[in-house]
Amino acid sequence: MPNDLPIIIQGGMGVAVSGWRLANAVSSEGQLGVVSGTALDAVLARRLQHGDPGGHMRRALAAFPIPGVADRIIDRYFVPEGTPEGVRLKTKPMHKMRQSRHVEELLVASNFVEVFLAKEGHGNPVGINYLEKLQIPTIPSLYGAMLGDVDYVLMGAGIPRAIPGILDRLSVGLEAELRIDVKGATEDDDPYTRFDPAEFTDGTLPPVKRPAFLAIVSSHILATMLAKKVEATVNGFVVEAPTAGGHNAPPRGRGQLTEDGEPLYGDRDEPDLEVIRQLGLPFWLAGSRAEPDQVADALALGATGVQVGTAFAFCEESGFEGKIKRTVLELSEAGQARVFTDPVASPTGFPFKVAQLEDTIAGEEAYQARPRVCDLGYLRSAYRRDDDSIGWRCASEPVEDFLEKGGTIEETVGRKCLCNALMANVGLGQVQTNGYGEPRLITSGDDIATVARFLRPGEETYRAADVLDYLLPGRVRSS
Span 79-104, pLDDT tens digits: 999 999 999 999 999 999 999 999 99
Spell out the SS3 assignment of 218-284.
CCHHHHHHHHHHCCCCCCEEEEECCCCCCECCCCCCCCCECCCCCECCCHHHCCCHHHHHHCCCCEE
Strands 126-131 and 305-308: unpaired
Helix-then-strand count for the chain, H and E: 18, 15
pLDDT for 476 beyond 80: no
Among 37-41, 138-142, 270-274, 417-421, which is the least confidently predicted range? 270-274
Average pLDDT over residues 164-171: 98
Report residue 247's pLDDT band, with 50, 70 and 90 as the boundaries: confident
Total-model pTM: 0.96
Residue 474 banded pLDDT, cuts 50, 70, 90: confident
Which helix (H) or strand (E) segment is 59 a member of? helix 56-62
At 70, is the pLDDT very low, low, confident or very high (cuts 50, 70, 90)? very high
Burial (Cβ within 10 Å: 0-12, 13-18, ≥19) of residue 383: middle
Q: What is the pLDDT of residues 384-409, one digit of tens each?
A: 999 989 999 999 999 999 999 999 99
**CA 201 to centroid of chain Cα atoms:** 26
pLDDT confidence of 1, banded at 50, 70, 90? Answer: confident
Say whether pLDDT at 254 is over 70: no
Residue 387 CB contacts under 8 Å (≥ 6 apart), including other chains: none
Q: Which of 228, 240, 221, 218 is nearest to 280 (CA)?
A: 228
Average pLDDT, the chain: 95
149 has pLDDT over 90:
yes
Q: How confident is the model at residue 307 (pLDDT cuts 50, 70, 90)?
A: very high
* Residue 142: pLDDT over 60: yes
71 versus 474: which is more confidently predicted?
Answer: 71
pLDDT digits (tens, 9 = 90+) for 174-218: 999 999 999 998 888 889 999 999 999 999 999 999 999 999 999
Query: Which domains are assigned to the chain?
Result: 8-320+456-471 (3.20.20)
Residue 267: predicted pLDDT:
84
The pLDDT value given to residue 94: 95
* Averaged pLDDT for residues 433-446: 93
Q: How confident is the model at residue 242 (pLDDT cuts 50, 70, 90)?
A: confident
- State residue 102's pLDDT score: 98
Residue 266, pLDDT > 90, answer no
Tell me, what's the pLDDT at 38?
Answer: 98
Instruction: Write out pLDDT tens, residues 343-400.
Output: 999 999 889 999 999 989 999 999 999 999 999 999 999 999 999 899 999 999 999 9
Categorize the per-residue pLDDT at 475 as very low, low, confident or very high, splitting at 50, 70 and 90. Answer: confident
Task: Answer yes or no: is pLDDT of 253 > 80.
Answer: no
pLDDT of residue 43: 99
Burial zone of 207 (CB within 10 Å; 0-12 exposed, 13-18 middle, 19+ buried) = exposed
**pLDDT for 52 beyond 90:** yes
* Residue of 123, 32, 25 whose CA lies nearest to 307: 32
Report the run of H or E that residue 56 belongs to, with start and end: helix 56-62
Is it the case that residue 271 has pLDDT exceeding 70?
Answer: yes
What is the β-pairing status of strands 283-286 and 236-240? Answer: parallel
